[in-house]
Structure 1
Amino acid sequence: MIQTSTPFIFMRGGSSRGPYLNRADLPEDLDVLSKVLVSMVGSGHPLNIDGIGGGTAVTTKVAMLSRSDDEWADVDYFFAQVGVEEQLVDFKPSCGNILVGVGPAAIEMGLVEPTGDTTEVRIRAVNTGSLVSEIVQTPGGMVQYDGEAVIDGVPGSAAPIQLQFMKVEGSLTGALFPTGKIVEEINGISVTCIDVAMPMVIGRAQDFGVTGYETAAELDANHELLDRMEAVRLIAGERMGLGDVTKSVTPKFGLLSKARNGGSACVRYFMPWKCHPTLAVTGSQCIASCLLAPGTIGEGLLDKAYTSPAKILLEHPMGKMEVVIEYKIDEGHFNVVSAGLLRTARKLATGEVFVPGEVWTRN
């Protein structure tokens, strides 16, 4: 049977990478789409040897773009987290690192026309409903990828991309603290269940028997820790209204500790079954909000007092990430207004990606 081909742009977005596709080129039915993405990535093998995945969660991500019918947005961004060794696709979360590449990819695909030396691309994250303004460098009407901006976890430098996230509070659950409590006790451990850009369960590293300064590899090798966190995550998922999250990557998990390298605080972010090599863009917003909100598990961990807009510098396994949180406190209630970050992206390849005809044949 003849294979089915689909045009794609292969991009690094932030500290993740994957194919960027036109949603119109893919099957509408989500079950069929899942099979296509599993085949495309090569899920079911630790090296993704029969696909274009890279054998880790940060390289088995897919972005699907289309023109938006939202009155504010230019582009709809539909995200899929595809499994590495399991043939699973999760459409619940969004991904902020992959989102960094949406602006450049939308221009490259002709979904957005460049407007001058810089182009604002207004994005609706379909999975969560978040709205994001992205400023892309477009001198001469072409996306510029070369530049001097540096982000930890990615070698070299590239053109800066400025992102401003809006409507991030209650992204998937509809509430900042979806359990109704600022702190939950689960299996004898205090955690905060919070939803800003990404639903998360956040605890203090010391309460889980680690320092929070371990490398990602050291944490991945600590199976007792991973099992303990997963047991807490499953219960938290139920309490957050997410149901059975056994096979879902949401909520994510975070461990906090005090900064030790000049940052505001130190974090280890889990995806959730492995430690992220750096830090997710969505996760950074959620963690920073947790650190700023009164009464959470993060209270007292920041290096100093902050006021809005707060520039929070989060230490992660490969360096630091800065996120700016604009917030307000009304009658004791903490609310996130927006979050800003600076990231980079780079186009790596373009062409066609193939899946076996038995998986999907375009009508």
Structure 2
Amino acid sequence: MSNSIPCIIMRGGTSRGPFLRMRDLPDSEAARADLLLGLMGSGHLLQIDGIGGGNPLTSKVAIVERSTHPDADVDYLFAQVDVLRRHVDFNPNCGNMLSAVGPYAIETGLVEADEGITSVRVRNLNTQRFIECQVSTPNKQVCYEGDVSISGVPGSAAGIRLSFLDVVGAKTGHLLPTGNTVDVIDGVEVSCIDAATPVVLVEASALGVQGSETAEQLDTKRDMLDRLEEIRRKAGRLMGMGDVTQSVLPKPIIVSCSDTPACTLRARYFVPHSCHKSIAVTGAIALASAISVEGTLANRMAVKAGHLESGDLLQSVTIEHPLGVMELDVSHGSGGSGDVSRVSMIRTARKIMSGDIFYPALSA
């Protein structure tokens, strides 16, 4: 049967989806998107005719290939496949799916394993940024078993260290795309940040919520969601991204002070029209970066919570999200600059199946 390609389904962080080789997909982006829509079963609430899980976190695709760039081993293109609409967004990056790119590259022979730990250098084609992945490879084999637990995933697994390099301006070229630490949209203060991914930060109280609600509770607040979407669209224009109605970027994040002293801030991250059950890696990086910029909403709230003095820089950030916490190590530029040069965190991944995946015949 011609309409099948090799596939490994993997969990990466708190996301899951098929991992494919670029060489097995059509050259045309339109034909590639058509294939992915059929493969995932989009256009149906349950994605019943494909392998999507009826949720944005399980309707993701990682496309990987050997890189021609001298600073990378593999290239990684992320695709967010809409559940209900026939739409694929190749603009954002997904740091959770990225957690499994290193293991996948080793499993498929794109990178030769070293004894003990294998470093995989990844170029993300969505943002043209580079990430270092440290994968456990005892006996030169990927090891998925371990004692590392991450919020939002049951059990434990082997830790994978991700280090995001040169995160500033992933899409717009600027850490502060509007040139301001705070803008006002429809009477609401926001901070527009582009680090690993573009986001718009809004304080919970400005939207009439506590910020401690569950994802399910926030998803029922239709008026709040409509207001947040209007702010997101206007922020997109202010950030120089044009009409973002059909794009998942920028992502909105509702921020508040955590009730847990060990947590720097509390976040509710949207994808963008429903609340993420935890938080995206790239969204966490953007929020951690915002904390380092004096005057942003995130920085002001971290100062208010007593986690840093005005003008200080945090080397470690802990973000509370609906299912737990995410811890990040933050490195800054030299000379006291607030610019973030590297952000690292530990994630996990698991190989779920390997074989051929079938998709409906492509339209002519």
Structures share fold, TM-score greater than 0.5: yes
Aligned to 2:163: 164
Aligned to 1:327: 332
Aligned to 1:268: 268
CA distance in 2, matches of 1:285, 1:258: 17
3-state SS in 2 of match to 1:286: helix
Counterpart contact for 1:123–1:133, Cα < 8 Å: yes
Q: What residue ranges of structure 2 are gaps of 5+ in the alignment?
A: none
CA distance in 1, matches of 2:38, 2:68: 30
* Per-residue deviation, 1:239: 1.2
CA distance in 2, matches of 1:30, 1:277: 30
Aligned to 2:316: 311
3-state SS in 2 of match to 1:334: coil
CA distance in 2, matches of 1:83, 1:343: 25
CA distance in 2, matches of 1:320, 1:64: 28
Aligned to 1:294: 294
Aligned to 2:279: 279
CA deviation vs aligned residue, 1:236-282 (integer Å, no higher than 9, x gap): 11111111110100000101100112311100000100100001000
CA distance in 2, matches of 1:198, 1:64: 19
CA distance in 2, matches of 1:205, 1:135: 36
Aligned to 1:30: 29
Aligned to 2:237: 238
CA distance in 2, matches of 1:299, 1:139: 41
Counterpart contact for 1:79–1:127, Cα < 8 Å: yes
3-state SS in 1 of match to 2:297: coil
Aligned to 2:71: 72
- What RMSD, in angstroms, separates the aligned Cα atoms of the two structures? 1.4
* Per-residue deviation, 1:334: 2.8
Q: Which runs of 4+ in 1 moved over 3 A?
A: 306-309, 328-331
CA distance in 1, matches of 2:363, 2:349: 31
Q: Does 1:44 align with 2:43?
A: yes
Q: How does 1:82-97 map to 2 (within 5 A)?
A: 82-97=81-96
Q: 1:148 to 1:359 in 2, by over 3 A?
A: farther
Aligned to 1:203: 202
Q: Does 1:341 align with 2:345?
A: yes
TM-score by length of 1: 0.96
* Per-residue deviation, 1:330: 5.5
CA distance in 2, matches of 1:329, 1:276: 34
Q: 1:174 to 1:257 in 2, by over 3 A?
A: same
TM-score by length of 2: 0.96
Counterpart contact for 2:294–2:300, Cα < 8 Å: no
CA distance in 2, matches of 1:158, 1:299: 33
Counterpart contact for 1:6–1:353, Cα < 8 Å: yes
CA distance in 1, matches of 2:223, 2:335: 41
CA distance in 1, matches of 2:27, 2:205: 46
* Per-residue deviation, 1:70: 1.1
CA distance in 1, matches of 2:242, 2:157: 41
Q: 1:131 to 1:309 in 2, by over 3 A?
A: farther
Q: How does 1:79-228 map to 2 (within 5 A)?
A: 79-228=78-227
* Per-residue deviation, 1:129: 1.1
CA distance in 2, matches of 1:247, 1:103: 30
3-state SS in 1 of match to 2:47: coil
**2:321 is matched by which residue type in structure 1?**
H
Counterpart contact for 1:3–1:356, Cα < 8 Å: no
